Amino acid sequence: MTDYTAPVTDLHFLLTQVIRADTLWSSLGLHDADVDTTNAILDEAAKLCEQVIAPLNREADEQGCSLVEGQVTTPEGFKEAYEAYCEGGWGALGGDPEFDGMGMPKTLVACIEEMLQGSSMAFGLAPMLTAGACLALNAHGSQALKARYLPKMYSGEWSGAMDLTEPHAGTDLGLIRTKAEPMEGGAYAITGTKIFITWGDHDMAENIVHLVLAKLPDAPDNAKGISMFLVPKFLPNDDDTLGERNAVTCSAIEKKMGIKASATCVMNFDGAKGWLVGEANKGLAAMFTMMNYERLTVGIQAVGAAEASYQRASAYANDRIQGRALTGAAEPNQTADPIIVHPDVRRMLMHMRAFNEASRAFYLYVASHLDIAKYTTDDNLRTQSEGRIALLTPVAKAFMSDMALSATIAGQQVFGGHGFIREWGQEQYVRDVRITQIYEGTNGIQALDLLGRKVIANNGQWLKDYCHEILLFVSGALSIELKVYAAQLAEQTEIALALADELITRSQKNPDVIGDSANDFLHMIGLVSYGYLWLKMAQESHQLLETTHQDQFSADFLNAKQHCCRYFFNRELPRINHLVYCIKAQTDDLMAMPASLF
C-alpha cells in the first residue's frame, strides 16, 4: 500500500479555479508567485513528502522519541528527513524576505503544510512550531532579536517551540507561575516548569528557540501580567556560532495516545537567560499571533491526516474482496466482490471525501484572507479580511479537526478488523488526529471564541459580512442543478444570521447561553461554509466540464466533484437542522442539574 500521495491535482484545482490565486497574488503585488512557479513548488514538496517523510510515519510511531540524560532522540530517519526539509529551503517559504525568508503567500504555504502533515503529523509539528514562533518573533521582537534569530529559524538550523502551559494552567494562562527576573544587560532570568511543549527538545536542529510566557516581578497576577520571552537552548555568540548551554532542560517526555514520534516535553527553566519579546505584560497578545497561525495549521494538520486515511481506505475498498453486492455478483468471475460495491462502504468514503475536500478549500479560503490582510494596500479590504480571519480561525481549527476525526474513524472502519491493527496504518490517523481537537485551545474554547468574542462581542458584524458574501454568491449565475443547492444554502445562511441575532439578545440576559450554544453554533457555521465551498467547487468543475478541449483536469476528477457536492448537500448539510433545533430550544437542561449530581 502506498504511504501517501500528495493531493497536488486538487490543490492545483483549488488554487487556479476556486481561490483564483494568480489574480489574487498579482493584485497584491506578489509577483514572485504565479501558477507555474506554484506547480513546480507543489511537485517538489510532494516528492519530499511522499518519498522521504511519509515512509517514516508508521515505524516512527512505534519507535517514538526517547529521553536520555536530558537529550531527546528522534525516531530513525527523522534527522535525515529534517535535513532534506531544510536543504529544500522549505522553512523559509513563507518567511520575511528582510531576514532571508522567501515571502511566498500563505495560500501556497498552506498547501505545503497539508502535504507535510499528511505525510507525518509528528514530524510536521517541528516545522509548524518553528513557523509559528517566527511569526510571533517577527511581529513583536526587536530588530536585534529578529536579525539574530529569524534567518537561522527560516533555514531550519534552529527550530522553535512555544512554552505556555503549566500543570495547573492550560486554558487559563492567567494562573501561570513561571517568573522572569531582570538581569544585568537587559536580559531576564526565567524560572519555572512548562508542560506539553511540542518538540521542546530534539536532535534534529542544532538549537531550539523557546517562546516562553512568564511573569515579571511586579506584574499583575492574572492574564494581564504575562510577558513573552525568547529563551534559546544554546546562547548564540556574537558571531552566530553556538555558545553556552542555557539553563533550559527537558526533564520528561509524555507517553501519548498519538503523534508518538513527536516529543512532548516537560521543560524546566532554571534561571534560563531570555529576552523580552514585545512589551512587558503584553505577552498573551504576542503569543496569540503564534496561536492564531497554529490554530489554522492545526486544522490543516487534521485534513492532511484525514486525506491520507481516505487514500488508503478507498484503495482498500477497491481491493478487498469479500461478500457480494446486494444487487447480485458484480464480479462473477471472482470468488467475491470488492467491498466498494456496498452502499454502506461508500457512505463512509463519501463522508470522508465530502469533508476532506471542503476542508482543503476552506483553509485555502482563510489563507487567501491572510494574504490579503498582509499585503493589500486597500484599508477597507484589509479590515474586511482581518474580520474574516478573526471569525473563521476558530472554525478552521475546531470544525476541520472534528470532521477529520470523524473521517479517520470512517477510514479505519472501512478496513474492518485490519483497521484496528497498527501495522495497517489506519488506526494511527485516528490517534494522531485526536490531538487536533485538543491542543492550541480545545475545540470547546474555539467555540466560545467564535460565538462569544467573534460574533456576540462584535455584534455579529463579521458574521454578517461573511454571510453576505455567501448570499451574493448563491444568488449569482449557477448551473441548474446547483440552483437547488444554492437555495438550500441561502436558507441555512439566513437562519444562521437570525440565530446570531437571537443569541446576541439572549446572551445579554444570561451569559451561559454562549456556552450552551457555542459548539452547535460553530458546527453550523462550519456546515454553511462547506456548503459555500462545495457550491464553488461544483460550479467551477461544471464549467470546466462544459469547456471543450480543456485538458488541465480529467473528466473523472471534475465529475467526482459533482458527485461529492451532491452527496454533501443531500446528506451532510441537513445536519444543520439539528444544530438549529438545539440552539433555538432555549432549554436549561445543561445548567439545571446541580454539579454534585454529576
User: Is residue 69 exposed (0-12), middle (13-18) or buried (19+ Cβ within 10 Å)?
Assistant: exposed
Binding segment (CB under 8 A) for its own copies, from list 206-214, 382-390, 496-504, 571-579? 571-579
Applying CB under 8 A, the span of 88-96, 183-191, 211-219, 410-418 interacting with its own copies comes to 410-418
Min. distance of Cβ 194 from its own copies in angstroms? 12
Q: How far is the CB of 293 from its own copies (least distance, A)?
A: 19
Q: Does 587 bind its own copies (CB under 8 A)?
A: yes
445-464: which residues touch its own copies (CB under 8 A)? 447-448, 452
338 binds its own copies per the rule CB under 8 A: yes
Nearest distance, CB of residue 480 and its own copies, angstroms: 17
Closest Cα partner for 283 from 170, 385, 136?
Answer: 136
350 touches its own copies (CB under 8 A): yes
Count of residues near its own copies by CB under 8 A: 98
SS3 assignment, position 198: strand
Distances (CA, A) of 36 to 7, 16, 22, 24, 39: 17, 11, 10, 15, 5
DSSP 158: E
| Main-chain dihedrals φ then ψ at residue 230, nearest 5 degrees | -100, 125
Identify whether the C-beta of residue 543 lies closer than 8 Å to the C-beta of residue 536.
no
Asked if 267 is part of the footprint of its own copies (rule: CB under 8 A), the reply reads: no
Stretch that binds its own copies, among 23-31, 138-146, 183-191, 510-518 (CB under 8 A): 510-518
- Size (the chain), residues: 598
Task: Give the residue among 168, 169, 189, 190 at the shortest CA–CA distance from 178.
Answer: 190
**Residue 321 found at the interface with its own copies (CB under 8 A):** yes
The C-alpha atoms of residue 24 and residue 19 are separated, in whole angstroms, by 8
Looking only at residues 112 through 141 of this chain, which bind its own copies when binding is defined by CB under 8 A? Answer: none
Q: Can you tell me which of 159, 249, 292, 443 binds its own copies, judged by CB under 8 A?
A: 443
Q: How far is CA 240 from CA 10, 35, 184, 206, in A?
A: 42, 37, 21, 12
CB of 560 to its own copies, least distance (A): 4
Q: Which of 231, 267, 93 is nearest to 149 (CA)?
A: 231
Decide if residue 435 touches its own copies (CB under 8 A): yes
Residue from 224, 245, 422, 483 in contact with its own copies (CB under 8 A): 422
Q: Interaction with its own copies in 4-43: which residues (CB under 8 A)?
A: none
Single-letter code of the amino acid located at 468: H
Active site residue 440: yes
C-alpha cell, 158: 534552529
CB of 222 to its own copies, least distance (A): 9
- Write out the binding residues for its own copies, residues 518-557 only, by CB under 8 A: 518-519, 556
Least Cβ distance, residue 439 to its own copies (angstroms): 7
Q: Under rule CB under 8 A, which residues in 198-227 are in contact with its own copies?
A: none
Helix (H) or strand (E) holding 340: none
Interface residue with its own copies, options 1, 421, 457, 487 (CB under 8 A)? 421
Q: What is the DSSP letter of 269?
A: E
Catalytic residues: 440
